[in-house]
Amino acid sequence: MKNVAPTPGRKVRGSSTGRPIMAALDLFGRRGMLRILWELRGDAPLTFRALSAAAELPPGTLNTRLKEMRETGLLDSGDGYRLTPLGRELMGALGPLITWSETWAQAVAPKSTLDEN
């Protein structure tokens, strides 16, 4: 079976209904997906080599994720890889989660551990 990017309206992992949130969670749960999003958060495009090094992913996995990101409208490619307006909107939507994670880290992690990161 051909690997198909999860999209709303189709059966996805964890949901036979294909509800948009379930398709999004399936997409985000794929190996390296969130890391790629994170590395592409800036304005400057990244080359395949730079993105592979930054995301610490093998080329095959990175190729698959980039294909899925293009299929789902999150990624533009040309002079490098960059997020589409929809991908940038996603990063904005993740902002509160990033803020929450910092509060959570302060609450549960020893100070010395946080200083190392």
The reported pLDDT for the residue numbered 49 is: 94
- Kindly report, residue by residue over 30-86, the tens digit of the pLDDT: 999 999 999 999 989 999 999 999 999 999 999 999 999 999 999 998 889 999 999
Distance CA 94, CA 43 (A): 17
The reported pLDDT for the residue numbered 14 is: 80
Hey, what amino acid is at 103? T
What dihedral do alpha carbons 92, 43, 106, 31 form, nearest 10°?
80
Domain boundaries, the chain: 1-30, 31-105
The reported pLDDT for the residue numbered 1 is: 41
Contact 111, 105 (CB under 8 A): no
Q: At what angle do helices 59-71 and 48-55 cross, to 10 degrees?
A: 110
Pick the CATH number of 31-105 from 3.40.50.2000, 1.10.10.10, 2.40.50.140, 3.90.1200.10: 1.10.10.10
- Kindly report, residue by residue over 49-60, the tens digit of the pLDDT: 999 999 999 999
